Amino acid sequence: MLFNSAGYLFFLPLTVLLYYALPHRFRWILLLAASYFFYLLWKVEFVLVLMSATAVSWYAAMQMGKFPKKKQRRKYLVLAICINLGMLVFFKYLGFFTEFINQVAGIAGRSSVIPYYSILLPIGISFYTFQTIGYSIDVYRGILKPEKNLGVYALFVSFFPLVLAGPIERGRRLLPQFHIKHDFDPTLFTSGLRLILWGMFKKIVIADRLSIFVQPVFANIGYFHGIEVALAIMLKMMQVYADFSGYTDIAIGSARLLGFRLSPNFNRPFSAQSIAEFWNRWHMTLTSWLRDYVYFSLPFKYRGRIVNWRMNLNLVIVFVLIGFWHGPYWNFIIFGLLHGTYIILERTFKPIMSNFNRITGLTRVPKLLTGLNIIATFLLVCSTGFFFGSHPVGDSFLMIRNLFDFSHTDKAILLPLLKNSDLLLSFGLIIFMLLFEYLVKEKSFALKFMGKPVAVRYSAYLFMLFFLLVFGIFASNQFFYFQF
């Protein structure tokens, strides 16, 4: 069931009505049943994987809770990580590894040594696997006590707003909320509705409209050149942002209708002034997960002291994992490697850039310097967009080569682009989205808006809904991150 489907517009209100109609002690049962029903609609077999991940991590945590020392808990942590990570590797990466081994064998002059199997990927597995592993590690570290109620823990893993594509929640943040009685909160409820409306707007009006321009270029990579490729890459990054942040807004908004508060996942990433800052604003629950459970678990010392090359190596490892988490393709590995490399270069040349900005006088014009940093960061992010996809890696390098080929760019191409009303509308919508989010985050627009008369507020809601209905692309397109 897609968030942007008619079925969800029936499912969500019904679940909310039943939730508040039931006594508190029965509400988790309703939410668990609703969450499994929501997930079952994708494929019945997927539920078996979800249940297995839930059962293993719950059992391991319960066993760890019996022992006071980490040494006694370690074997159960290893059990939870190996089985949950093993399922992720089996379903998502088995084909990649078998193909890689066979290619290496082919280079060595041997025929295929491992049969290749194409296995259907259970939807959401990348997200709930990290959630269960994070829970197991927190219990192991003593940060969190194990959840004794298997049903409540199963709800934590399968909660319908986040099971398909996050946010990746921590047990210590979400699990206690299932034990609290949530009385109907009009303020939280209306903020949830606003988030759902805004998320739908970003997905249906902006992201799906941008895909009309992006998809043909990536489907016919050898055909497009110059300005067409440049536009496609920039629009793609905006499409992915509008799509994924739109999903997150709907997820967080849906949870708010029920009284739950999920973690934020985006914070205006295209206002970042460096790649490091970009990743502090983009898919924040993934980056914070890898920071807490991977980065700080890696060694930083060499011969007893902290060394820069160790820190840089750790950064590369984490960002390669970020890329590989997105999909079993070389493209994504290069995508992560590029981001890690950019951050290392930023750290290395930071003193030089600070001196350059001081000598050129840019430090005396902070707004100009900020603007230049934002533009440079955006262009660096776009440069990695060539590799953000499951297309062959050779096609990515072909697109890069075609980007600098302007021999096909003439008035016959430029004039239709400049006069394309849909393209101009898309640019207008992107500017509106970025400006609106700036006003909400930086200028407290939401608080000021809530102080306006009821007629003004509801007129704005109706206008947004009208705009969504008129300009929306109602093709029930899947959200971009569902493939991960």
Boundary residue ending a domain (181, 210, 231): 181
Query: Domain check: are 172 and 210 in the same one?
Result: no
The C-alpha atoms of residue 404 and residue 338 are separated, in whole angstroms, by 20
pLDDT band at residue 406, thresholds of 50, 70 and 90?
A: confident
Parallel, antiparallel, or unpaired: how do β-strands 305-306 and 301-302 relate? antiparallel
Instruction: Based on the residue annotation, tell me whether 283 is a catalytic residue of this protein.
Output: no
Query: Domain check: are 169 and 212 in the same one?
Result: no
Query: Domain check: are 143 and 209 in the same one?
Result: no
Boundary residue ending a domain (152, 181, 210): 181
- Identify which of 25, 402, 376, 22 has the alpha carbon closest to the alpha carbon of residue 221: 402
pLDDT band at residue 441, thresholds of 50, 70 and 90?
A: confident
Query: Domain check: are 42 and 80 in the same one?
Result: yes
In-domain check, residue 21: no
pLDDT in tens, 93-125: 887 878 777 777 777 666 666 666 667 788 899
Scanning 65-143, the segments in alpha helix (DSSP H) are 70-88, 94-107, 125-141
In-domain check, residue 11: no
Q: Taken in order 135, 141, 142, 148, is the CA torsion positive or negative? A: positive
| CB distance 287 to 263 below 8 Å | no
pLDDT in tens, 57-80: 999 999 999 998 888 899 999 999
Query: Which strand (E) or helix (H) includes residue 305?
Result: strand 305-306
Count structural domains, the chain. 2
What's the average model confidence in pLDDT over 379-392? 91
Query: Domain check: are 242 and 126 in the same one?
Result: no
The catalytically annotated residue of 24, 182, 283, 326 is 326
In-domain check, residue 153: yes
Q: 71: which 2 tokens? A: 């040494």
Query: Domain check: are 472 and 329 in the same one?
Result: yes
In-domain check, residue 9: no
Range of weakest confidence among 184-188, 279-283, 388-392, 440-444:
440-444
In-domain check, residue 3: no
- What domain range is 449 assigned to? 188-483
Query: Domain check: are 361 and 268 in the same one?
Result: yes
- Identify which of 329, 305, 481 has the alpha carbon closest to the alpha carbon of residue 393: 329
Boundary residue ending a domain (125, 157, 181): 181
Query: Domain check: are 456 and 354 in the same one?
Result: yes
Residue 412: per-residue pLDDT: 47
Residue 448, pLDDT > 80, answer no
pLDDT band at residue 417, thresholds of 50, 70 and 90?
A: low
In-domain check, residue 87: yes
Query: Domain check: are 210 and 145 in the same one?
Result: no
- Number of Cα atoms under 13 Å in the Cβ half of residue 216: 9
Query: Domain check: are 358 and 388 in the same one?
Result: yes
Query: Domain check: are 40 and 90 in the same one?
Result: yes
Query: Domain check: are 210 and 157 in the same one?
Result: no
The C-alpha atoms of residue 70 and residue 343 are separated, in whole angstroms, by 34
In-domain check, residue 7: no
pLDDT in tens, 153-180: 999 999 999 998 879 999 999 999 999 9
In-domain check, residue 304: yes
